[in-house]
Amino acid sequence: MKTCVIVFPASNCDRDVAVALEKMGASPKMVWHGETDLPATDLIVLPGGFSYGDYLRSGAMAARAPIMREVLKRASKGTPVLGICNGFQILTEAGLLPGALMRNAGLKFICKTVAVTVENNETIFTARHTQGQHIHIPIAHHDGNYFADEDTLDHLEGEGRVVLRYDDNPNGSARNIAGIVNKSGTILGMMPHPERSIDPLTGTCDGKALFESLVEALA
């Protein structure tokens, strides 16, 4: 499987996700935000971090970076895109996913391992999970409070696009949403960090199944 990780100024989980992909046998290419072209790839990853310092709005400036034009093009042709944390914020800012990620309801940055339910295991990202599985996975964000209008939320729910839901809402997200996909199920945005959950030495391993699902689906 060929993968690309987009590196924005002040991305800081780019290495972590590259390590995770490598571990799953996918060799990631790191692509600088200023590039205008992407190599052939089966998966595009927008990593976590603080692109542009999260100034103005999280993900806002990154969503307008030169490389994003190409990401949008590929995404529209069906190339899968995974946005983790800051990557999720970038996906909403770029209009690839609906809604917005606002300041956590408690206003504080939160870093901890939380319980999340897999609400839909019929996506390329979650096939290795069971439906309704509770997984434990770290979050680390200041702006993870998912917002969308009621109509949009109803649509997301109705179409099975709420893929991950917090068991105990840490940040005020509408309907406890932790991750959603686009209509065609090829783009996932999620606040939790699966790449920090692949090694028993550093915590839980529940994030591994996401990468395994992708490898299986895209190999």
Catalytic pick from 13, 33, 85, 119? 85
Q: What is the C-alpha to C-alpha distance for residues 121 and 134, in angstroms, rounded to an integer?
A: 12
Task: Name which of 79 and 146 has its Cβ closer to other proteins.
Answer: 146
Q: Does 147 bind other proteins (CB under 8 A)?
A: yes
In angstroms, the Cα distances linking 219 to 13, 25, 43, 85 are 24, 10, 10, 25
| d(C-alpha 158, C-alpha 124), whole Å | 19
Answer whether 14's CB lies under 8 Å from 47's CB: yes
**167: buried, middle or exposed (CB in 10 Å: 19+, 13-18, 0-12)?**
middle
201 binds other proteins (CB under 8 A): yes
Nearer to other proteins, 6 or 124 (CB): 6
Residue from 24, 50, 116, 177 binding other proteins (CB under 8 A): 50
Token reading at 186: 């090829």
The token pair that represents 9 in the structure block: 């100024």
Binding to other proteins by residue 103, rule CB under 8 A? yes
193 assigned to active site:
yes
What is residue 130's DSSP assignment?
A: P
The nearest distance, CB 131 to other proteins, in angstroms, is: 28
> Which residues of the shown chain bind other proteins in the complex (CB under 8 A)?
9-10, 12-13, 15-16, 19-20, 34, 48-50, 52-57, 60-61, 64-66, 92-93, 98-100, 102-105, 107-112, 138, 140, 142, 145, 147, 149, 172, 193, 195-196, 198-199, 201-203
